[in-house]
Structure 1
Amino acid sequence: MTLPAPRYITYVPLTDLPADPANPKGHEIERVIASITDHGFVETVVADERTGMLIAGHGRREALIEMQIRGLPLPDGLLLDDDGGWLVPVTRGWASKDDRQARALLILLNRLPEAGGWLPGPLATILEDLATADPDLLDSLCFTDDEMENLLRQVDPETLPQGPDGTSTTDHDDLYSGDGGLADSGDDDRATSTCCPACGHVFSPGR
């Protein structure tokens, strides 16, 4: 006899996803909405079988409700039921032992992703590529100017990708003012800018 998998994914009506009122995590809902709009619904929410409430995915749930209220299109990754309701993929099969464990996991699942930090070299390489190839996609990551400057201070510019011939694609002298600051890029919409030390590209990570 084959036993059922201990974890499985099923589609559940958005209206049947109760949030845990004890959830202490705040959310930047507009950023979550933008992420779902740009990339689809990638990460499933997780239900606690003991309580019937979410153990992970409160921000995504709130964002989907707001998207539906606004009349936005069904995101990629969701399904429609016969009445036009949104069906959300939910990971099922986990059950907490008691309320204390459930509330501890509510916090832990949010703390773990941030605990390891970032590897400066690989992160800077990806961001530098986005800065040159797709600035709008870079902007969607919402790195602030201070975060970018701190990151770039931690990496060796020689290790980052440059132009196709291995040389800088931009004249660095044109990007800096005489007092060592950034020169005006000439684009009012991207006035607050950061310069990549490898390619010289000026971009606005915090827009």
Structure 2
Amino acid sequence: MPLAAPRYISYIPLTDLAPDPANPKSHEIERIIASIRDHGFVETPVADERTGLTLAGHGRRSALIEMQARGEQPPDGILVDDDGGWLVPVTRGWASTDDRQAHTLLILLNRLPEAGGWRPGPLAAILEDLATSDPDLLDSLCFTDEEMENLLRQVDPETLAQGPDGTHTPELDPYDHDQADTGDNERGTNVSCPACGHLFTPGR
């Protein structure tokens, strides 16, 4: 006997993906549109079976509506029906017990991803790899100079000894004697910014 999936993905008309009027989250629609253009439609919205309203994905919904209004081609991950309407994948199967629970989850689904912050070492390694291999992808992440400086001040140079592929070595200034190998396994004191090459001393 086949198992009934409590959660499933269903393609529905974009026009049927109703927003929740109580949604308190604002969005940078142009950044979402750029991401969808670059990578396709990856993260599916979530709908509440009780209300029929969107729980997560208001920004993605608005971005798709704007892209369609501009006459753009449907991005990867979006289907088109016989009338030319866009069909969007939606996670279904969860139903709230009341509006308070629905609104709590509406906020949590936005709050939880940002709550943990970033692990500075792995993040810096990925950003440096992008800076040297595909600057356009780095630019698409929209890290400000201040964010990059704050990140690099938290990074131990030893954590950047290898990039995400295990082979990349960060750029260090060969003329900076403070970075030179001491021969006794002591680490250098400076690390270069993956975006601009500027040297920072972590912890200062």
Aligning the two structures, in what range does the TM-score lie when normalised by the shorter sequence?
0.7 to 0.9
Alpha-carbon distance change, 86 to 132 in structure 1, aligned in 2, over 3 angstroms: same
The match for 1:80 is: 80
Indicate conservation of the 8 Å contact 2:127/2:194, yes or no: no
1:116-160 residue CA offsets vs partner (Å, 9 max, x unmatched): 000000000000100111111001001111110000000122431
Indicate conservation of the 8 Å contact 1:45/1:57, yes or no: yes
Indicate conservation of the 8 Å contact 2:131/2:138, yes or no: yes
1:153-197 residue CA offsets vs partner (Å, 9 max, x unmatched): 001224314797958477677xxxxxxxxxxxxxxxxxxxxxx93
Q: Secondary structure at the match of 1:202?
A: coil
Tell me whether 1:202 sits opposite 2:192 in the alignment.
no
Q: Write the letter of the residue equivalent to 2:196.
A: V
Tell me whether 1:95 sits opposite 2:95 in the alignment.
yes
The match for 1:13 is: 13
Indicate conservation of the 8 Å contact 1:172/1:200, yes or no: no
Distance (whole Å) between structure 2 residues aligned to residue 7 and residue 17 of structure 1: 17
Alpha-carbon distance change, 41 to 121 in structure 1, aligned in 2, over 3 angstroms: same
The match for 2:157 is: 157
The match for 2:200 is: none
The match for 1:129 is: 129
The match for 2:47 is: 47
Q: Write the letter of the residue equivalent to 1:197.
A: V
Distance (whole Å) between structure 1 residues aligned to residue 130 and residue 15 of structure 2: 37
Superposed displacement of residue 2, structure 1: 3.6
Q: Write the letter of the residue equivalent to 1:46.
A: V
Superposed displacement of residue 72, structure 1: 1.0
Indicate conservation of the 8 Å contact 2:148/2:195, yes or no: no
Measured on the aligned residues, the alpha-carbon RMSD in Å equals: 2.4
Distance (whole Å) between structure 1 residues aligned to residue 39 and residue 90 of structure 2: 18
Gaps of 5+ in 1: 174-195
Q: Write the letter of the residue equivalent to 1:97.
A: T
Distance (whole Å) between structure 2 residues aligned to residue 51 and residue 167 of structure 1: 51
Alpha-carbon distance change, 103 to 132 in structure 1, aligned in 2, over 3 angstroms: same
Alpha-carbon distance change, 51 to 19 in structure 1, aligned in 2, over 3 angstroms: same
% identity of equivalent residues: 76
The match for 2:113 is: 113
Indicate conservation of the 8 Å contact 1:161/1:198, yes or no: no
Q: Secondary structure at the match of 2:36?
A: helix
Indicate conservation of the 8 Å contact 2:160/2:170, yes or no: no
Tell me whether 1:142 sits opposite 2:142 in the alignment.
yes
TM (norm. structure 1) is: 0.80
Alpha-carbon distance change, 68 to 170 in structure 1, aligned in 2, over 3 angstroms: farther
Q: Secondary structure at the match of 2:30?
A: helix
Distance (whole Å) between structure 2 residues aligned to residue 37 and residue 77 of structure 1: 11
Indicate conservation of the 8 Å contact 2:122/2:159, yes or no: no
The match for 1:69 is: 69
TM (norm. structure 2) is: 0.81
Distance (whole Å) between structure 2 residues aligned to residue 69 and residue 171 of structure 1: 53
